[in-house]
Every structure is written in structure tokens, then in C-alpha cells.
Amino acid sequence: MISTPGASAGLASTPGGEPVSDRSREARGSRGDTGLGDLYRLYSRWLTARLRRRYGDEADDLTQEAWVRMTPYMREGAIAHPKALLLRIVENLAIDRSRRGGPRPLEQTDRAEIQQAVDPASQIDEILLKQIIFNMPPKLRTVFVLSRFAHLEYQEIAERLNIPVTTVQWRMRKALDYCAAQLRL
């Protein structure tokens, strides 16, 4: 395969000048040409699903704009890597939108990405904490989880477990002592 001037945009051709794509047999069909409609049928659902996970409600607008911006590349020849080109177009669109729109509040997908990007040391600490909690005696674990992770007050825990508040306090103190002892090991 010989690269042409349009190769930087994801375009390629054979030595005879015929356009080549990574899905050329599927996209060309019986006519022997690769049109935008063919690529749309092949990649439309994939692109929309991928963008919906990352951009939420903006996915449909970004998808439509990406296909519109892909049209000029079709005039130059078949697209060698349509998925890569579509993702590059969408990434550029998202950058443009963020520059125009200014900062936006974090969405649920953004929070998930941030949590995945946490450094390995904190991930090890998280695993260690989970092991400590799972190995804790059940009565202490129940009070500890309700207090620290469900954010319930001692009174609410006592009502939920049908035990006195002083018992909740005692179990919480024992649970914290247990955690401290395990971390010293």
C-alpha cells in the first residue's frame, strides 16, 4: 500500500490509485465504491454507543456533526481507518465545544473516569481496607459500614438494628480498634 497526500487524514490507495479501506469488501458491496452511506450503516451504531458512554446527552449531536465533517474526506477517496477518523473528528469537536462552553459540572461518566485514574498506591490502600472490613467480626462490620459508608448517625443505626445507642458506640469503638490493629501488622 502506498501512502498518498491524504494519508494523514486516514486515506490510503493502492499502487494503481484505487482507494483502500479496512472494511473495503463490506463497505463496497457489489458496486465497488465506498460511500458515506455505506460507512454510516457500518459504523453508526458503534459510534453512537461509544459516544453515549462518554458524552451522555451530547452523543447524538456529536455523532451527527462527525458524519457531516467526514464528508470532505470521502471526496478524496476511501477512508483507510474510518473508526479512527471518526473518533479523531469527535475528539476535536468535543475540544471545540469545551472551549466555547467553558467549564461544565462533572457528570457521572466523568466521575467514573476520575476514579479509574487514581494512582496505584491508593488502589492498594482500598484493597487493604476492603480486606480488613470483610475480616471484621460481623456485628462490628455492620455498625462500621452503616456509620462510615451509609453515613447514618448512631441513633439511626441503633433504631435500624434494634439495639441501644451505647451498644452502637461500643461496637464502633471496637471496629475502629480492629482496623487500627490490622493496619499496624
For residue 6, pLDDT over 60 is answered with no
Report the interhelical angle of 138-148 vs 154-161 (nearest 10°).
130
Residue with the bigger pLDDT between 15 and 53: it is: 53
pLDDT range class, residue 162, cuts 50, 70, 90: very high
Amino acid 153: pLDDT: 93
Amino acid 19: pLDDT: 47
Q: Distance between terminal CA atoms of the chain?
A: 61
For residue 88, pLDDT over 50 is answered with yes
pTM: 0.38
- 60-86 mean pLDDT: 80
Query: For residue 154, what are the CA distances in angstroms to 10, 119, 138?
Result: 61, 33, 17
